[in-house]
A and B are shown apart, each in its own frame.
Chain A
Amino acid sequence: MGKYILRRLAGIIPLLFGISLLSFAVINLAPGKPVALENSLNPRVSARALERLEKLYELDKPVYERYWHWLKRTAALDFGRSFSDNRPVIEKIAERLPVTIIINLLSLFLIFAAAIPLGVRCALRPDGMLDKVMTAAMFFLFAIPTFWLALLLMNFFGINLRWLPVSGITSLNYEYLSPVEKVIDLLRHLLLPVTVSSLGGIAAMARYMRSSMIEALAQPYIRMARAKGLTERSVLYKHAFRNAVMPLVTIMGLSLPGLVGGSVIFESVFAIPGAGRLFYEAVMMRDYPLIMAEVVIVSILTMTANLLADVSYAWIDPRLRDKR
């Protein structure tokens, strides 16, 4: 097992190289230019000044040469400076990533805490009352766009009831609050975003859980376990659950890397200074150094997540372990 993990970890580096090469090429060859968005169609900005900017950003050099430069710098863990404000890319990411990670961890926790029991309950009595209500609720949550749900909640809790702040992560007077007040202030601001970002996930996860659980419960060994007189709880969570949890692990592995990029919608609606928006803006402005840093981060996340998923399969299902 250990050898397997090591081998996979070693495999990440050449893969990373390949992905970065491909991405660099496509990003640079795709339509649109970095300086275009910043200054275009401003009559005060002359065409000559733009040409000069292109030179300063080394955009007049061929792609392969620029990739080589990028690779050398990145190997030394220097991701360069952002085109939009000339700040080091690493610094920009470091100040934005924590919020995104906190919100996503909170909502991930919420998703699993809510979706697993819900899914199991539904699977116990398919087409029962709870199952029907849950099915309708989950499709409802999936059909309404995130921004709509967010605005609805903001309107209700922020304006009608005035219980919660509408947007941002801190109040205007944050710097003058005591440490305890600061934490409370932060939590009040995070409540709605975490709720909104987890509701859709709960709906989907509960659905996966329900479907695999129904299948697992139909297996012969469950009947055996029941026949042996084990408690229902033990049958459910010890025997059936182990077999039903596989798709959940897969989905989790798949959703981990998407969290960073996928946060852009609620980060925009709730005015949260997170990494999702940072990368979205970088893409729209063709801020190449920042986009490439994102590609590297997302790649590492994806590959680790998929490696973790593969390892957990073996851990959950001992039969797979011997094969490795």
Chain B
Amino acid sequence: MKNNQARLVLKKPVRRLSPFIAAVVFFVATPQAKAADKGDAFICASTADARTLMPMLASDTASAGICGYIFNGLVKYDKDLNLIGDLAERWEVFDGGLQIVFYLRKGVFWQDGAPFTSRDVDFTYRKMVDPQVRTPYSGDFERVERLETPDDHTVRVFYKEPFAPALSSWSVSIVPAHLLEKEDLNTSAFSRAPVGTGPYKFRSWKTQERIDLDANENYFLHRPNIDRVAQRVIPDPSTLFLELQTGGVDLCGLTPLQYTRQTDTPYFRGEYRKFRLPGDTYVYLGYNLRSPLFSDIRVRKALNLAVDKDEIIKIVLLGLGSVSTGPFTPQSWAFNPSVKPAPYDPSGALRLLKEAGWEDSDGDGILDNNGRKFEFTILTNQGNEERIKTAEIIQRRLSDIGIKVKIKVVEWSVFIGEFVNKRDFDVILLGWALPREPDNYDIWHSSRTREGEFNFAGYTNPEVDALLLEARRVFDQQKRRELYRKIQELIYADQPYMFIYVPDSLYVVHGRFREVEPAAAGIGYNFIDWWVPAAEQRYRMR
């Protein structure tokens, strides 16, 4: 099949999918790439258009998503979130982490036919640390002392000191030296017509409408079964949900309300498969520990007891989530399952507050301490209804025990620039989306409290500081896990945040796609193995 002569023909939508077939495919989990039919297209959507397909400049999710189809890193995460080789066949760590050697896969070609070599890795590294390149991701690579390429398929990276997260930093997309050497990466035309080593190659980009990708016939693992990927731009979530009902998109994230109440129709049961996976974000209430109000740990513990997280999950997430118990989410290998959430105990909260000196001495219904009333403002960002609702429930529960809470919702850029970065807040309600590498030194280490840095709570605990440093130096995952488990225990005990919930990730995928198997890594990890039986294919590229 020649792609430049491709024809995209819309076939009649398949009205109903036999549940039997779906079940069989679901349980027969052997690789079926040989038996799989080729063809069809996969249509997904994002709320914003990609900004650039130059991977090292791409900081938004839409761009990163497309770059993920086109490019590869040296390493990647498998379905169980273990690091495995991607463009690198294997690697070795020497001198306790001072040197990492990657042995590159042979016979890999760029989509324009040029061979992939260690020269491309060297080029990518040099551009990552080039001060003229507008990349936000230079941090991890500034730790590299030097990089050597003894031959076409070996890369030696020397570090100034051992740095365990370095390994995962090499999942960075490698870009072709032969096409970019003479270009200014910031303004290169490459960013609108990229060439990578990945399973799909760039076909076309209609700004704010759609990006189309074609299967890479020569992909080094195997040719993907699905001929085309199209990412549409649909800014409004309500519209996206309507498009789902016309069959205009094949994959869509769902809100809890859509998951529980709007997709339980015969149409959805027949056409789509729903997925509910543990999420990788957590929502928290971050205290400003510089404020005298929250510097007392008893107060923070009391607040934690006074808010019923299960109620929040029941109302805001309609039950589709779990209580957060610290700075890792349950699907991460660093998560410590033995840390249990504190119970909902308003009277216990009042006892603790009394110990700390807070009591309603003047009978006005609000707690006070030496003439100061217990009141503060929860600050959160506009555009996330779930967070605003959460804030309203917390406000209600705290008013039950005599704490007056105001809510202020502000636009994101102002929120970050004026309040969070300048530490001008009592309490913020926010979420962290966690990368797969658990190193969270930047969020919890006491050296990261200056303006613009991420320890905005102002958390300092020498023990945690030491453990965070230690966890960065140890390459053995078992040992690192012990360290992170200890860190989670200590942080939960200190309550610099009130950890609230981890929302589940909810999706629907059209039922014609086979081999869609949810795992710890989500569902997209084996996209090249997805396939559609010829009889059910919707789009023909001929």
Tell whether, in the assembled complex, residue A86 and residue B52 are in contact, meaning their CB atoms are under 8 Å apart.
Answer: yes
Interface centre among A39, A49, A85, A175 (most CB of B within 10 A): A85
Whether A285 sits at the interface, judged by CB under 8 Å, is yes
Contact partners of B209 in chain A: CB under 8 A:
168-170, 271, 273
Whether A154 sits at the interface, judged by CB under 8 Å, is yes
Q: Which A234-288 residues have C-beta < 8 A from chain B? A: 268-271, 273, 277-278, 281, 284-286
Whether B187 sits at the interface, judged by CB under 8 Å, is yes
Tell whether, in the assembled complex, residue A96 and residue B207 are in contact, meaning their CB atoms are under 8 Å apart.
Answer: yes
Tell whether, in the assembled complex, residue A158 and residue B413 are in contact, meaning their CB atoms are under 8 Å apart.
Answer: no
Please report the C-alpha to C-alpha distance between residue A248 and residue B232 in the assembled complex, in whole angstroms: 40
Whether B136 sits at the interface, judged by CB under 8 Å, is yes
Chain A contact patch, size range: 35 or more
Write the A124-162 contact mask toward B (1 if CB under 8 angstroms, else 0). Answer: 000000000000000000000001000100110011001
- Tell whether A271 pairs with B235 under 8 Å between CB atoms, given A31-B414, A167-B243: yes
Whether A179 sits at the interface, judged by CB under 8 Å, is no
Whether B435 sits at the interface, judged by CB under 8 Å, is yes
- Tell whether A284 pairs with B230 under 8 Å between CB atoms, given A43-B443, A154-B239: no
Tell whether, in the assembled complex, residue A49 and residue B416 are in contact, meaning their CB atoms are under 8 Å apart.
Answer: no
Tell whether, in the assembled complex, residue B416 and residue A41 are in contact, meaning their CB atoms are under 8 Å apart.
Answer: yes
Whether A53 sits at the interface, judged by CB under 8 Å, is yes
Pick from B139, B242, B248: contact of A151, CB under 8 Å: B242
Whether A113 sits at the interface, judged by CB under 8 Å, is no
Nearest chain A CB to B291 CB, angstrom units: 21
Contact partners of B412 in chain A: CB under 8 A:
36-37, 284
Whether B208 sits at the interface, judged by CB under 8 Å, is yes
Pick from B7, B242, B432: contact of A158, CB under 8 Å: B242
Tell whether, in the assembled complex, residue B416 and residue A277 are in contact, meaning their CB atoms are under 8 Å apart.
Answer: no
Tell whether, in the assembled complex, residue B230 and residue A172 are in contact, meaning their CB atoms are under 8 Å apart.
Answer: yes
Pick from A47, A165, A166: contact of B450, CB under 8 Å: A47
Whether B539 sits at the interface, judged by CB under 8 Å, is yes
Write the B411-435 contact mask toward A (1 if CB under 8 angstroms, else 0). Answer: 1111011101100000000101011
- Tell whether A175 pairs with B8 under 8 Å between CB atoms, given A159-B245, A159-B246: yes
Tell whether, in the assembled complex, residue A49 and residue B135 are in contact, meaning their CB atoms are under 8 Å apart.
Answer: yes
Whether A33 sits at the interface, judged by CB under 8 Å, is yes
Contact partners of A270 in chain B: CB under 8 A:
239
Tell whether, in the assembled complex, residue A158 and residue B443 are in contact, meaning their CB atoms are under 8 Å apart.
Answer: no
Tell whether, in the assembled complex, residue B413 and residue A49 are in contact, meaning their CB atoms are under 8 Å apart.
Answer: no
Nearest chain B CB to A28 CB, angstrom units: 13
Nearest chain B CB to A51 CB, angstrom units: 8
Write the A33-55 contact mask toward B (1 if CB under 8 angstroms, else 0). Answer: 10011111111111111101100
Contact partners of A158 in chain B: CB under 8 A:
242, 246
Please report the C-alpha to C-alpha distance between residue A154 and residue B139 in the assembled complex, in whole angstroms: 46
Whether A299 sits at the interface, judged by CB under 8 Å, is no
- Tell whether A269 pairs with B236 under 8 Å between CB atoms, given A31-B414, A49-B138: yes
Whether B145 sits at the interface, judged by CB under 8 Å, is no
Contact partners of B430 in chain A: CB under 8 A:
41
Contact partners of A284 in chain B: CB under 8 A:
411-413
Whether A32 sits at the interface, judged by CB under 8 Å, is yes
Tell whether, in the assembled complex, residue A46 and residue B191 are in contact, meaning their CB atoms are under 8 Å apart.
Answer: no
Tell whether, in the assembled complex, residue A85 and residue B52 are in contact, meaning their CB atoms are under 8 Å apart.
Answer: yes
Tell whether, in the assembled complex, residue B242 and residue A168 are in contact, meaning their CB atoms are under 8 Å apart.
Answer: no
Tell whether, in the assembled complex, residue B416 and residue A271 are in contact, meaning their CB atoms are under 8 Å apart.
Answer: no
- Tell whether A49 pairs with B8 under 8 Å between CB atoms, given A32-B418, A43-B454: no
Contact partners of B192 in chain A: CB under 8 A:
87
Nearest chain A CB to B41 CB, angstrom units: 8
Please report the C-alpha to C-alpha distance between residue A154 and residue B239 in the assembled complex, in whole angstroms: 8
- Tell whether A42 pairs with B59 under 8 Å between CB atoms, given A86-B186, A172-B43: yes
Contact partners of A271 in chain B: CB under 8 A:
209, 232-236, 239
Contact partners of A175 in chain B: CB under 8 A:
8, 204
Please report the C-alpha to C-alpha distance between residue A43 and residue B453 in the assembled complex, in whole angstroms: 9
Contact partners of A45 in chain B: CB under 8 A:
59, 136-137, 139
Nearest chain B CB to A210 CB, angstrom units: 34
Whether B9 sits at the interface, judged by CB under 8 Å, is yes
Contact partners of A47 in chain B: CB under 8 A:
450, 452-453
Contact partners of B434 in chain A: CB under 8 A:
43
Tell whether, in the assembled complex, residue B248 and residue A166 are in contact, meaning their CB atoms are under 8 Å apart.
Answer: yes
- Tell whether A31 pairs with B417 under 8 Å between CB atoms, given A47-B453, A49-B139: yes
Whether A81 sits at the interface, judged by CB under 8 Å, is yes
Nearest chain B CB to A178 CB, angstrom units: 13
Residue of A nearest to B49 (CB): A273
Contact partners of B418 in chain A: CB under 8 A:
31-32
Task: Given contacts A167-B243, A268-B235, list 4 more A-B pairs with CB under 8 A.
Answer: A49-B136, A86-B187, A154-B239, A284-B412
Please, could you name 27 A-B residue pairs with CB atoms under 8 Å apart, sorted by A?
A: A31-B418, A32-B413, A32-B417, A40-B421, A44-B139, A46-B138, A47-B452, A49-B135, A50-B136, A53-B136, A56-B132, A86-B186, A86-B191, A158-B242, A162-B246, A168-B209, A172-B10, A173-B9, A176-B8, A176-B9, A269-B236, A271-B236, A273-B206, A278-B208, A284-B412, A284-B413, A285-B413
Residue positions of B touching A, CB distance < 8 A: 7-10, 41, 43, 48-49, 51-52, 57, 59-60, 131-132, 134-140, 142, 186-187, 191-192, 204, 206-210, 230, 232-236, 238-239, 242-243, 245-246, 248, 411-414, 416-418, 420-421, 430, 432, 434-435, 440, 442-443, 450, 452-454, 539
Residue positions of A touching B, CB distance < 8 A: 31-33, 36-50, 52-53, 56, 81, 84-87, 92, 95-96, 147, 151, 154-155, 158-159, 162, 165-173, 175-176, 268-271, 273, 277-278, 281, 284-286
3 nearest A-B pairs in the assembled complex, by CB-CB distance: A273-B208, A32-B413, A46-B139
